[in-house]
Structure formats: C-alpha cells, structure tokens
Amino acid sequence: MPAISKQSSAVPVIRFENVHKRFGPLVVLNGLTLDIPADQTTVVIGPSGTGKSVLLKHIVGLLKPDSGEIYFHGRRIDNLADKQLEPIRKRFGFLFQLSALFDSMDVGENIAFPLRQAGGFTETQIAQTVHEKLAIVGLAGSEKKMPADLSGGQRKRVALARAMAMNPEVLLYDEPTTGLDPIRSDVINELILKLQKQFKVTGIVVTHDMASAFKVADRIVMLLHGKIVYCGTADEIRACPDPEVQRFIQGRASEAELDALDRL
C-alpha cells in the first residue's frame, strides 16, 4: 500500500492516532491514524461494513476506542467524560445515515431541537435560526410540514438544516446521498460544497458514492481492513496504482467475489 501523503503540518482539527476498536471478535479499526485538516472536506470511502460509521461515532464520543488516541485541535478527547465532552460536541453537526428526523415533530421543531436541548435561546432566536437554516437548504417556509410529507431528498436537507442549527465548526455526513437518485444526490453535493465555501465548515463525508466523493472532496481517504490505506486529492486517488483502491473507485468485483458467484 502506498504511504499516507499530504498530511498538513498545521495542527489538524481532528487527529486519530493508532486507534483500535473491536466488537467481540470483530476487529473494525485496527491501528487507524488520520488527520482531518481545517476548512476542507475530507471524504472517507470504503466498502459497506468497513467501519466508516464507527469512525464518525468515535469523533463525537458515541464510541470510545479500545486503545489509541483521538484529538480535537490538539487536545485529547477520547478519554473525556460526557460532561467535559459536552461543549466540544456542540461544535459538531452530525448528519446521520438515515436522516433520523423525529416523525412526530414538524420540520421547524426538528431543526429547533438541538437549540432547545442546548438551552439559552429565546423563541424569537429559535424561529430566526430555523428560518435561516431552512433557507440555506432551499426549503424556506417549510416549518409546518411533517417529515412524512417530505421526499427522501427533502428529509436529508431538513436533517442537514438541523445539523447546522448550532453553527457547527465541523460537519459529519454519514452517507449523505445513499438512497437518493442522481439529481437529488447532486443537490446534496452542492449543499456540502456551499457549506464548506460559505461557512468554512470542516467537513467529513463518509460515502461509497464515488460520484459524490469526487465532487465534494478536497481530499479522499480510503478505509480498508481497519486502517487508512490511501489518502490524496481526487486526481491522486484516480491515478493511485493500488489495485484494491482502483477496484473500489471503479466499482469492479474482485476475482474472489466473482468466484463466489460461480458457486451459487
């Protein structure tokens, strides 16, 4: 595997250092080391079940490593108690894999939720924030709609508006385009680009949608067998000689996978 290149010399926003995580006998992260630089979008690609969501959950403390360290702006965070982690968590927005809207709440209340949880905002401030975030995602005036009345793409955009509610410094996107048609996927891609450019959000996008990866990435890293095996710009990854990386970005099955088909 090629050496990891392009690590920034500045202190990264997030740093994983030799992180190991297993669930019983299943080793998911196996000595993962990764720097996430500021004000850029880093895309993490990798096959399903490879640990991409697990990686994101470690960043916000939903999962803790078995060993290794995680840093935020140079400060170690993996060993912090929930109380100490609270102010740091507020600096992150998380777009969950399945949007995870509250179906019993209207769109406005979904976006208001993180603000109400954090406390200290007036009703006017909350209404203003909801209005502002809905406009950013192109759904101005949809406060009173119910999640059930929205399309998949609209639900994602509401979830993104909610992830933006606290003006996060870092946005974590878990498979933001999965399940959407190419046009609606592209709307989400454009939004990711807009948030990075307009609001200088540091983005981490986990995906196996290569069209989305190439469109939004400043840098692409590949997670395989519990480690980062490749890291570079979109052009660098396109030219990467590693056969496993090429197979993945071109969506080609391996000989072993094809052999398994023959046996069916």
Binding residues (CB under 6 A) for ligand ADP: these are 23, 26, 28, 46, 48-54
CB of 209 to Mg ion, least distance (A): 12
Burial of 36 (0-12, 13-18, 19+ CB in 10 A): buried
Nearer to Mg ion, 166 or 224 (CB): 224
The 172-191 contact track toward Mg ion, x by CB under 5 A, reads --------------------
Please choose, from the candidates 154, 168, 161, 132, the residue with its C-alpha nearest in 3D space to the C-alpha of residue 60.
168
CB of 53 to Mg ion, least distance (A): 3
# residues contacting Mg ion (CB under 5 A): 1
Give the Å distances, CA to CA, from 236 to 32, 230, 233: 21, 10, 5
CB of 242 to ligand ADP, least distance (A): 19
Q: Which of 41, 42, 50, 53 binds Mg ion (CB under 5 A)?
A: 53
For residues 48 and 123, give the distance between their C-alpha atoms in angstroms, rounded to a whole number. Answer: 42
Residue nearest to Mg ion (CB): 53
CB of 176 to ligand ADP, least distance (A): 13
Per 3-state DSSP, what percentage of the chain is helix, strand, and coil (rounded to 5)?
Answer: 40, 25, 40
- Counting every residue written for the chain, the total comes to 264
- Residues in touch with Mg ion (CB under 5 A): 53
